[in-house]
Amino acid sequence: MEPRKTRVVIAGGGTAGWLAAAVLARQLGPLLDIVLVESEDIGTIGVGESTIPTVRAFHALLGLDEREFMSTTGATFKLGISFENWAHDGDRYIHSFGDVGKSTWMGDFQHFWLEARRRGLAGELGDYCFEHQAALDDRFATGPNGKLNYAYHLDAGRYAHFLRARAEAGGLKRVEGRIAKVDLDAESGHIEALVLADGQRIEGDLFLDCTGFRALLIGEALGVGFEDWGDWLPTNRALAVQTVSTGPAVPYTRAIAHDAGWRWRIPLQHRVGNGLVYASDFLSDDEARARLLESIEGERLIEPGLIRFRTGRRMKAWQGNCIALSLAGGFVEPLESTSIHLIMTGLTRLMQAFPFDGVSPAVVARYNEQSRGEIERIRDFIILHYHLNDRPEPFWRRQREMAIPDSLAERLGLFVESAQAYQGPEDLFRVSSWLQVLFGQGLTPARYHQLARLIPDDQLRQALTDLKTNIDRAVSRLPTHQAFIQDYCPEKTEAA
């Protein structure tokens, strides 16, 4: 007799629910009986229209064809984020997805660059990064010989619909309905079933909570607490609006600081996503709406939608037989486009330690520890952008003067004292990411490795010149981002 299939119940649709459904069906489908429960009456939060390069590896697990995915969803390519006015009004830097310069076993590139800058031999840090320069020049290409590290801008609604179609084609069962009650086992405290408003009872062995900020399973039913990070990240609202494109799509997200937060501009093929993130203690909803509408370009396609959020994390991502994904498990605001990544890593860890034979406390503890470490390191990276600033407004002054997490303070101390940056085992962001933001926000190390002092002027100058020349030559050979999209993955008209 064949072993009984493990019953997986996914509570909620949207990007999180349908990513879970699609990847579990593809990778473990014959071993599972998967049901997704969602209500058409409950809207999804469609702010997340920007991703990071890890999305491509997860798409490979899904077996997605890049051109089909991009054409269907109207996606564009992303080489990084342009941060404007963050350190002070008028400044700009790009946090790109590329490696900066070339490093040695003894010292990373920044040590050589700092010594070259001291001697007047070096250009800007971004001069030595392929992705940075391609973004600045609005150029892009991919393919068998493509060397650019990239992600996507995507339409969250179309993306969820695209994933749903694939999952349902693979036999996934979707149940329409609103969750009215969560039945728990009196002895174990585990979830037995979801009871819908129409009386249906959906039983399962493992439940994935994709119910957004409501966290109906992990929070309301199982009582897992929430650790609030509002003291470090006080932005708690976002207004989002879509507009008609007014020009070619650039291969980067724009994040533009204002006196109480920042606003985004994300170019898709069929429209532009715009939004304003702010702290309600420093800006009213009416003022925020007026400011957003003043800043947009092109005809408005929808009325601005208000999203209230709280930064922080569930104390446990996995409790009993329930795993929280996406907003149900935590949120660190959309600044570095990490929300979809956290869904994907949560699902990857689940597949690697899937509880076919029942829940193991040791596995759950390890899963929770990894999840906690990952989201806390992301939190620190986001705080970094706010903390290092010279802006005069009360909001920014508060961020500059506040006490920061010890883990971030230790990193900043290491960088200031020795110009060292690192990527730890739970860190999403690489050394080059830390360097681009640290230098971009205006932090200058007091000391750095003296290895570069051994290199004569002419040799150091030539090495940097050759590196920049090779990058400039490679960028000049790329088509424009808009031209490449039109040739490679033009939007399907029936998806409009």
Catalytically annotated residues = 78
Rounded to an integer, what distance in angstroms lies between the CA atom of residue 246 and that of residue 261?
25
Q: Are strands 272-278 and 237-243 parallel, antiparallel or unpaired?
A: antiparallel
Rounded to an integer, what distance in angstroms lies between the CA atom of residue 269 and that of residue 203?
41
Comparing C-alpha atoms, which of 419, 421, 417, 439 is closest to residue 429? Answer: 421
Rounded to an integer, what distance in angstroms lies between the CA atom of residue 157 and that of residue 212?
15
- At 155, the amino acid letter reads D
DSSP assignment of 45-88 equals: -----B--THHHHHHHHHT--HHHHHHHHT-EEE-EEEEESSSS
Rounded to an integer, what distance in angstroms lies between the CA atom of residue 388 and that of residue 408?
12
Q: Are strands 206-209 and 322-324 parallel, antiparallel or unpaired?
A: parallel
Q: b/e per residue, 342-361, with b = 16+ CB within 10 A?
A: bbbbbbbbbeeebbeeebee
Rounded to an integer, what distance in angstroms lies between the CA atom of residue 219 and that of residue 213?
9
3-state secondary structure 427-479: CCCCHHHHHHHHHHCCCCCCCCCHHHHHCCHHHHHHHHHHHHHHHHHHHHCCC
Chain-centroid distance of CA 485 in Å reads: 22
